[in-house]
Chains A and B, each alone.
Chain A
Amino acid sequence: MSIDDLKKKIVTSPDGDEFEVNPMTDYFCGDCPEEARPVKGILEKFYNWARSESIWVLGFGTGCGAIEMRPLMTPRFDAYRYGIQWRPTPRQANMLIVSGYLSVKTLKRVIRVYEQMQNPKYVMGLGSCTINGGMYYDSYNTIKRLDYYLPVDVYVAGCMPRPEALLAGFEKLKQLIREGNAEGANDYANRFEWYKANQKAVILNWDMPDYNW
């Protein structure tokens, strides 16, 4: 998609009728995200337990760290036994692992994917590159701190962190979810302007709506 695709245009239907299409309003929803308040009491505790025991990870590898997720799916480390499963679509996934360095180009895709996921959703920053840039600290086209752009729940440090470190990260995330502290999606909704300003500061050719629900 390019910026030109988002401009108003006249489209001819198969019947020969001509009509105007405005992609920004016709194809996308312009609404900003809203905070979805947790239900109170024991029901939320139960949901949080279920969320922590059923983490659906979006299979989206952004950098070299994606290679560390394969051993987790296969016999050696087998994360499935902890209720961690991989889903191929952001609609069903509730966890995004940003695996390694994030170039500005990839950041755009990651933002779109994150915004398509449903509340509650969690983000794990994998590898030093997501914490402080790591070995890409002086690169001109990678971002240095992931939590300027997306609300991160857990960081797993290392270059590369081994699968055991990821499993430890998952356990930490589970603990956060059970305590009710993994409310990144609501944080993103509440500080939407701040996150958007940060994102737009690095993504210069912003060719998508502000919120890709």
Chain B
Amino acid sequence: MGEKMLFAFISVFIMLNYGLLINGVIRRIYARVGRRIGVPVYQMYIDLFKSWGLRTNIRHGTMFYLGPVFRFTGGVGLFLFMPAVYGVALFTNFSFSGDLLLLLSFQFFGTLGMALGASESGHPNSAIGVTRGLAQMTAVEVPFILAIMAVAIQYDSLSLTEIIAAQQGGILHWTLFTNPLATVAALLAMLGAMMRSPFDVVLAPQEIPIGPPTEYHSNYMVFLQSNRAIFPLAKAILFMNLFFGGALTIWMLLIKTFILLMWPVLVGVSFPRFRVEQSIRWFLKAPFIIGLLGIAYVYFFLK
């Protein structure tokens, strides 16, 4: 167990650094699309140290403290309970036989934690941001859960390790090719889960100053920034495991997650922002129907 915990620490540390760097790269890409040069790739580190170095901070109560902690737990928990690299002890983490269900709850955990924390700050913009965030997350979960159900039925398992194992043996064994409809539904849901345009009105920097984290600063901000590095990466790893055959080496992990993270970026730089009710309607139309078709496909063609 001690060894496993050490490995978990190391893998979280590696992923945190990778996430921070990749966030820098993504900001750079956004800037280049807007014909700017953009922040240095390592700017996230400096921001982290700067926030850490603030000399004063404001307290609003216990839940205000716990909000960013829950958010961070959501990100790290999502990462820790799935095998990042299949068959490598260092990156197997704490995956177990029913981990898929736990991972689904971790998706929501951080947002709920922030809802409690941000509400205690008493700032109306936080409350508006959280309400928007939860409403949108609920709509995102619908096609995503349908896709996951399709995968679970297809492989008769709720264990990520078994799902990855079933996809080994060549690229045509990936869920991407065995059940493309579920993959498409999940990829569309991923757009909403990544907090990038067109689904980033939750963080809306103009209309409601940055939404839930309005009141958060200094060390709270460090937690939120670290989570923003780990959480999207953990989600990308989850998608990689479910639909793209998992990873057998660390390099494969890095390459696959990078490509997966570029998908919301590609959409994000191309499309303007939806309002919340527009995005909810959007998720409950095409992605929802494709998700249902994915399950039907499993029943009629794969069983």
Q: Is B40 an interface residue (CB 8 A)?
A: yes
* Cβ–Cβ contact B209 & A119, under 8 A: no
CA distance A89 to B213 in the complex (A): 9
Q: Is B286 an interface residue (CB 8 A)?
A: no
Give residues 179-213 of A contacting B (CB, 8 Å): 185, 213
CA distance A47 to B81 in the complex (A): 35
The listed residue (B36, B53, B209, B214) touching A80 by CB distance below 8 A is B36
* Cβ–Cβ contact A51 & B210, under 8 A: no
CA distance A75 to B35 in the complex (A): 6
Number of residues from B at the complex interface, CB < 8 A: 30
* Cβ–Cβ contact B39 & A120, under 8 A: no
Q: Is B31 an interface residue (CB 8 A)?
A: yes
* Cβ–Cβ contact B36 & A118, under 8 A: no
Closest to B121 in A: A91
Q: Which residues of A contact B43 (CB under 8 A)?
A: 53-54, 83
Closest to B53 in A: A47
Q: Mark B22-47, 1 if CB is under 8 A from A, else 0.
A: 00000000010011111110010011
CA distance A38 to B55 in the complex (A): 8
Q: Which residues of A contact B216 (CB under 8 A)?
A: 91-92
* Cβ–Cβ contact A92 & B53, under 8 A: no
CA distance A75 to B34 in the complex (A): 7
* Minimum Cβ distance to chain B for residue A14 (Å): 17
CA distance A127 to B83 in the complex (A): 57
The listed residue (B39, B57, B58, B218) touching A85 by CB distance below 8 A is B39
Q: Which residues of B contact A88 (CB under 8 A)?
A: 205-206, 209-210
* Cβ–Cβ contact A78 & B56, under 8 A: no
Number of residues from A at the complex interface, CB < 8 A: 27
* Minimum Cβ distance to chain A for residue B195 (Å): 16
CA distance A118 to B59 in the complex (A): 12
Majority SS at the chain A contact face: loop
Q: Which residues of A contact B221 (CB under 8 A)?
A: 92
Q: Is B1 an interface residue (CB 8 A)?
A: no
CA distance A47 to B56 in the complex (A): 14
Q: Which residues of A contact B57 (CB under 8 A)?
A: 118
CA distance A50 to B49 in the complex (A): 6
* Cβ–Cβ contact A80 & B55, under 8 A: no
Closest to B205 in A: A88
Q: Which residues of A contact B39 (CB under 8 A)?
A: 80-81, 83, 85
CA distance A74 to B214 in the complex (A): 24
Give residues 68-103 of A contacting B (CB, 8 Å): 74-75, 78, 80-81, 83, 85, 87-89, 91-92, 94
Closest to A27 in B: B122
Q: Is A148 an interface residue (CB 8 A)?
A: no
* Cβ–Cβ contact A36 & B53, under 8 A: no
Closest to A189 in B: B56
The listed residue (B31, B35, B38, B55) touching A118 by CB distance below 8 A is B55
Contact A36/B209 with A50-B49, A83-B43, A91-B217 known, Cβ cut-off 8 Å = no
Q: Mark B193-236, 1 if CB is under 8 A from A, else 0.
A: 00000000000011001100111111001000000000000000
Chain A residues packing against B (C-beta within 8 Å) = 36, 38, 46-47, 50-51, 53-54, 56, 74-75, 78, 80-81, 83, 85, 87-89, 91-92, 94, 118-120, 185, 213
Q: What 3 A-B pairs have minimum CB-CB distances, sorted nearest first?
A: A88-B209, A47-B53, A36-B55
Chain B residues packing against A (C-beta within 8 Å) = 31, 34-40, 43, 46-47, 49-50, 53-58, 205-206, 209-210, 213-218, 221
